[in-house]
Amino acid sequence: MSTLLEVSGISVSFDGFKAINNLSFSIGPAELRAIIGPNGAGKTTFMDIVTGKTRPDEGQVLWGEKSQSLLRLSESQIAQTGVGRKFQRPTVFEDQSVEDNLLLALKKNRSPLSVLGFRKSSADGDAIAALADEIGLGDQRPRKAGELSHGQKQWLEIGMLLAQDPQLLLVDEPAAGMTLAEREHTTALLKQAAKTRAVVVVEHDMEFVRRLECKVTVLHEGSVLAEGSLDHVTQNQEVIDVYLGR
């Protein structure tokens, strides 16, 4: 299977503390992966490195068929190559409608002239309608984003990322604060997205991870402790000792 993202031997220290310690990780172009582990395991730092927010002290982060090094690129350049990230707290434009939020996120030429002369085309409208349906907000398009429930805001933000057509989606704790029905819809949304792109979900909620039915990577002290199906990793004694037994 071809690899979309290949992280090898990365380490990074903050004030003498090794947040990431010789970590290696890879994911294919249409794959869903969950990353779990105790607090301080390096999950957020790992995502910071992939997105260019943090530079590792050593190691490689290679991207795509041509094995392009992401470490040479800025955060905005990495985003343009096709890496999208969703943080834990939803960041949507609360005073704008659902439709306008999706329109703002659509993958477009962002040069100053094209932005000044922008007119929504019928193709844009069709893309937004399809996206709103996909994320479960088809009937909410005229509503202001600030009026949506917590779960709906999370879906809108996932929709805004999908509008940019990333090849890799990094999603941080999407299930936090959601109702059961919202969590089920979120599961379906992420599984659907992973049919056409790579999706990495960092999550604490084991029941949610089980619903994703995907390969799981367990981080501990900045390294990969175990990898495999959820059943496989949850039977690993080291994983039980450092994470599940707490």
| pLDDT tens per residue across span 113-162 | 444 445 667 788 888 999 999 999 999 999 999 999 999 999 999 999 99
DSSP state of 200: E
Beta bridge partners of 11: 58
Report residue 202 as tokens.
């960092």
Task: Grade residue 40 by pLDDT with cuts at 50, 70 and 90.
Answer: confident
Indicate the fold that domain 5-92+166-244 takes in CATH.
Rossmann fold (3.40.50)
User: Which range among 29-38, 72-81, 120-129, 134-143 shows the weakest confidence by mean pLDDT?
Assistant: 120-129
With beta carbons less than 8 A apart as the criterion, state whether 212 and 32 touch: yes
How far is it, in rounded angstroms, from Cα 213 to Cα 236?
18
pTM of the model: 0.90
Cα gap 79→235, rounded to integer Å: 37
What are the residue ranges of helices labelled H in the chain? 43-50, 75-81, 98-105, 112-116, 122-134, 150-163, 180-193, 206-212, 230-234, 237-239
- The tokens for 141 are 């398009």
**Minimum mean pLDDT range among 70-74, 84-88, 169-173, 189-193:** 84-88
Rounded to whole angstroms, how far apart are CA atoms 120 and 123?
8
